[in-house]
Structure 1
Amino acid sequence: MPRVRNPMIRTLIDLRGNGRASVYTEPLWGLSMMLVLPYASVFMLELGVRDEQIGLLATISILSQVIFGLLSGVITDKLGRRMTTAAFDIIAWVIPCVVWALAQNFWWFLAASVINGAWQVTQNSWDCLLVEDVDRAEIPRVYALVKAAGEFSALFAPIAAFLVSGFGLEIAVRILYANAALIMTLKIWLLFRYSTETATGRVRMAQTKGVSIWRSLSEYRGVLGLIVRSKGTLFSLSIAAIVGAVALVNATFWQLAINQRLSVPDALLPFFPMVRSLLSLLFYFTLIPLLTHSKQLRTPTLIGFAVYLAGQALLVATPVPDGEAQLSTYALLGGCLVLDAFGGAMLFMLAESLVALHVDRDERSRVMAIQRTCVMLVTAPFGWISGWLSGMDRSWPFLLTSGLLILGILVAGLMWVTTHDDAPTATTPTVPTNP
């Protein structure tokens, strides 16, 4: 049988064990949450939640994630990667989806946001489940596959548009949230059924058996020292924080901006993330592997920041139409989608990979818990700030993201730090060693 030449497809076919279970079940995330996310902010607006309150909810969600994120390493070590992922996926997604489906006002969204913050626990445990038994050389590709698997479900975005056209925005979104609760339940069961506890997870479970959570938390002082002494970890955290802040603003206000500022009709909203997702898929299997095939990842990171910056600037520069969105409006938004799809896909893969490659492997769960907590503390204010800016002008949040992306270019260009010295040799060229 001839060997597949495309590195992404080869990795997808060759995945085994937990890597396969994690990647192969990921499209179900898109069939659940990705169908409803394009309408999340508009749905809140429909129920009387103001721009400032939407931004406040984003910040409160981040603060909830900070608390759960700090506990995530201890919980993941004590319960194991597999059990933690199953239990906290139910808490973080199934329960909030039910609350969102029944929401009536700001307070319902507040309750769901606080509960949904528990996803930081499962993010830690799921990351460990995903990569701990995977060859380090494959980590960047595995994260790219995870993102691609989620984007694949964009093909089903017309379902959301059909529901909105047929039932109206409010009823359709409630149906989509109920669907998300059911599909996420299926995803949780499949991942639990076809995964096993990792080797590192079994060791950490044995080491923490009989140790109280409070004592484990007190040991974070030593883990924090590992982070502070590692220039590579601090650098990767800086990149992750910038990318996270930009993603937070875009996830909260991009759809709101094109709907309320550029007059894109409600029924067309899901087609924009659908097109962005399909473009991301295309880039993941074509251009991105070409740019990231070597050990030198600084240049691809700079390219990702620059292209994403161009997309944000184009959105700000798009003229407000007189009445309904015009053909020129959709053409400019199409350019935004191309630039955002490439830049966002590149930066997601590289930001996650850099954090995973710099982390201390023996203390992965606790180090990543502190890392995520630090990133969220830095990211949290941007929800409220962007909501305040959006209340004045719905293009202003993207002036903020443009500034953040310029900062990312400076950090990646001037402060780049190599990964661990034990990176693979030229026979496995996807893990970076030198810029």
Structure 2
Amino acid sequence: MTKIKAQIEKVFAAFREINPNARKILLFEPLFAIPYSMFIIYSSIYMTRMGVKDYQIGLLSTILNLVMLITSPFAGLLVNRFGRKRVLLIGDFISWCLYAYIFFVAKSFEWFLIATLFNGLMRIPELAWRLLLMEDATENERVAIYSVTVFVWNIGSLFAPLMGLLVAKFGLVVATKAVVLVFGILVNVLIVARHLVTEESSVGQRLVKENSNGDNHRFSEWLDSAKYILKNRNLFLIVLVVIFGNVALIFRDTYKNIYLSEGLKYPDDIISVFPTLWSIVTLIFIIFFMPKLKDKNHDRMLFIGMLLVTLSNTLILIARPGIIGFLLMLISTVLASIGVTIHYSFADAILANSVDDQKRAHVFSISMFLMSLFSMPIGAIAGQCYTFSKLLPFGLATFFTMVCTILMYLKVKIRQEK
């Protein structure tokens, strides 16, 4: 018990040591994470209950990525021109609050399409959020910041069983409607309160002054940053890992809960067990192991994380209905939770540490643009794959995480040679 208390105290000590902006942002993040983690579990199943076809779920995912693709190049320009704080305030309201309210009243594919279009603008405030979170921080401090971010998000996921209880008591449709409405209201509160207590980062203040003459509408800096990525082999490899990791995530998560319901025949209220287990394992891992890992070789840690996610995806492929399959899915969830925690804690930190302050916004913007470019057709492809074979999307997810594992192995070897 003393050891547990000591480890928890270390987590809170790490939280206190991170920069003030990151600390204030993460304090408010549960207002987003808790209701979002609850409603997103059943969102795809809810849409099918409202008349959306299986292939249309994949189409919505493709449209979401198309909007993110179109808007991503403008994200770096906007945050450098108007500042991280202002873009975050306006962007979060449009892409999350309006999305939630429209999702609440949606009764057909067309309404969910409109909600998706608003939600697709998320890349712009996402960039502002990421920059506010980790600018003015040291390299190792950024690993701690992302670890605390994962910790906060998984505290939100611990409320997933509550969603299961609501579904069991009121039905999936009523429970989802109620939670998405609460989500929209709480995000409204969050974005206003966060705007009032945070400060513009020092990098953001400098770039706003430099771009105040309005010349930043040109894409020359964006294109220069793209060339910079291509010339830097280590940076290029980590960008590829971020892109392919996101592709794998879409293949796996777009139809995972539907597969649990339709393929493995789990009852609706049982599905919430998996995100709960995921969160518990993640919190334990962050408390007891992440403090020891943040000073290790970041590339090697990310390689191990991708390897664990690959093993997890493989287990989904071999799981079948019944008790053995259920146990395999539990093991898969444990492996994925650890692997994804390592991935989110180290990937963005490696990316942020690989570029200087002047180029960081555009490099992040380009990485998000490429993520959307490669991910855009994946939702529709996943829909067609799921129609052909319920296991095919998870086979492709396994392939792409394996590619990420190989790329990180190469990056580790390059670092050793240097």
Taking structure 1 as the reference length, the TM-score comes to 0.90
Q: 1:369 matched to which residue of 2?
A: 365
- How far apart are 1:302 and its partner, in Å? 2.2
Matched, 1:203 2:199: no
Aligned counterpart, 1:303: 304
Question: What CA deviation, in whole Å up to 9, does each residue of 1:274-298 have, x standing for no partner?
Answer: 221121111122234434432x223
Instruction: Name the aligned partner's letter for residue 283 of structure 1.
Output: F
1:226 aligns with 2:228: yes
* Alignment pair present for 1:62 and 2:65: yes
Aligned partner of residue 158 in structure 2, secondary structure: helix
Kept after mapping to 1: 8 A contact 2:34/2:155:
no
Q: Spell out, residue by residue over 1:157-202, the C-alpha distance to the aligned partner (whole angstroms, 9 max, x if none).
A: 2321222122211121111110110111122122112100111111
Q: Deviations over 1:211-266 (max 9, x none)?
A: 15533x34422232222222222111011012111222233111111111011111
How many angstroms apart in 1 are the aligned matches of 2:379 and 2:298? 30
**Contact 1:158/1:271 (<8 A) preserved:** yes
Measure the CA separation in 2 of the matches of 1:367 and 1:411: 19
1:214 to 210, 213, 217: 217
Amino acid at match of 2:23: R
Work out whether 1:38 is the aligned partner of 2:41. Answer: yes
Displacement of 1:135 after TM fit?
1.9
Q: 1:318 maps to which residue?
A: 319
> Unaligned regions of 5+ residues in structure 2, if any?
1-5
In structure 2, the partner of 1:408 is 404
- 1:28–1:150 contact (8 Å) kept in structure 2: no
What is the Cα deviation at residue 367 of structure 1? 2.2
Name the residue aligned to 1:335.
331
**What amino acid maps onto 2:247 in structure 1?**
A
1:208 Cα deviation from its structure 2 partner: 1.1
Match for residue 239 of structure 2? Answer: 237
Q: Aligned partner of 2:222: which letter?
A: Y
User: Cα gap change, 1:391/1:289 in structure 2, threshold over 3 Å: closer, same or farther?
Assistant: farther
Aligned length: 413
Q: Secondary structure at the match of 1:279?
A: helix
| Secondary structure, aligned partner of 1:117 | helix
With over 3 angstroms needed to count, the CA separation of the structure-2 counterparts of 1:7 and 1:244, relative to structure 1, is farther
Residue 290 of structure 1 corresponds to: 292
SS at match of 2:300: helix
- Of 84, 88, 100, the residue aligned with 1:85 is 88
Distance in structure 2 (CA, Å) of the matches to 1:411 and 1:150: 27
C-alpha change, 1:29 and 1:56, in structure 2 (3 Å) is same
Match of 1:14 among 17, 26, 30: 17
How much does 1:380 deviate? 2.2
1:387 aligns with: 383
Q: Contact 1:235/1:417 (CA < 8 Å) preserved in 2?
A: no
Query: Aligned equivalents of 1:416 and 1:234: distance in 2?
Result: 14
Contact 2:31 2:186 in 1 (8 A): yes
Hey, what does 1:102 align to over in structure 2?
105
Match of 1:351 in 2: 347
Unaligned runs of 5+ in 1: 321-325, 420-432
Distance in 1 of aligned mates of 2:301 and 2:378: 26
In the alignment, which residue of structure 2 is the partner of 1:425?
A: none
Match of 2:272 in 1: 270
- 2: distance between equivalents of 1:300 and 1:243? 15
Aligned 8 A contact 2:299 2:411 in 1: no
1:78 Cα offset (Å):
1.4
Going from structure 1 to structure 2, the CA distance change for 1:139 and 1:63 (only over 3 Å counts) comes to: same
Compared CA separation, residues 151 and 54, structure 1 to 2 (3 A)? same
Question: Are 2:124 and 1:128 aligned?
Answer: no
CA distance in 2, matches of 1:219, 1:312: 39
Contact 2:274 2:333 in 1 (8 A): yes
Change in Cα spacing, 1:200 to 1:158, as seen in structure 2 (3 Å) is same
> Aligned letter for 2:292?
L
Q: TM-score, normalised by structure 2?
A: 0.93
Match of 1:173 among 165, 173, 176: 176
CA-CA distance at 1:391 after TM superposition: 1.1
Whether contact under 8 Å (2:67, 2:117) holds in the other structure is: yes
SS in 2 for 1:196: coil
Q: Distance in 2 between matches of 1:94 and 1:212?
A: 31
C-alpha separation in 2, matches of 1:43 and 1:58? 15
**1:8 and 1:141 in contact (8 A); partners too:** no
Which secondary structure does the structure 2 equivalent of 1:394 belong to?
A: coil
Aligned counterpart, 2:191: 188
Please state whether the residue corresponding to 2:370 is helix, strand or coil. helix
Instruction: Find 1:398's aligned residue among 394, 397, 404.
Output: 394
Shift of the 64–417 alpha-carbon distance from structure 1 to 2, 3 Å rule, reads: farther
Aligned mates of 1:405, 1:220 — CA distance in 2: 28
Change in Cα spacing, 1:167 to 1:261, as seen in structure 2 (3 Å) is same
Counterpart of 1:259 in structure 2 is: 261
Inter-CA distance 6–167: structure 2 relative to 1 (3 Å threshold): closer
Aligned equivalents of 1:309 and 1:4: distance in 2? 29
Letter in 1 for 2:258: L
Q: Distance in 1 between matches of 2:351 and 2:11?
A: 20
Q: CA deviation at 1:81?
A: 0.8
Match of 2:163 among 153, 160, 163: 160
Q: Which moved more, 1:196-205 or 1:224-233?
A: 224-233
Moved more, 129-138 or 374-383: 374-383
Over 3 Å counting, the alpha-carbon distance change for 1:18 and 1:50 in structure 2 is: same
Corresponding residue number in structure 1 for 2:3: none
**Cα gap change, 1:25 to 1:418, in 2 (>3 Å):** farther
Moved more, 200-209 or 14-23: 14-23
Alpha-carbon distance in structure 2 between the residues aligned to 1:170 and 1:354: 41
CA distance in 2, matches of 1:352, 1:109: 31
Q: For residues 90 and 434 of structure 1, do their structure 2 counterparts lie closer, same or farther at Cα, with a shift above 3 Å needed?
A: farther
Q: CA deviation at 1:203?
A: 0.9
Distance 1:56 1:241, change over 3 A: same
Counterpart-to-counterpart distance in 2, 1:219 and 1:16: 28
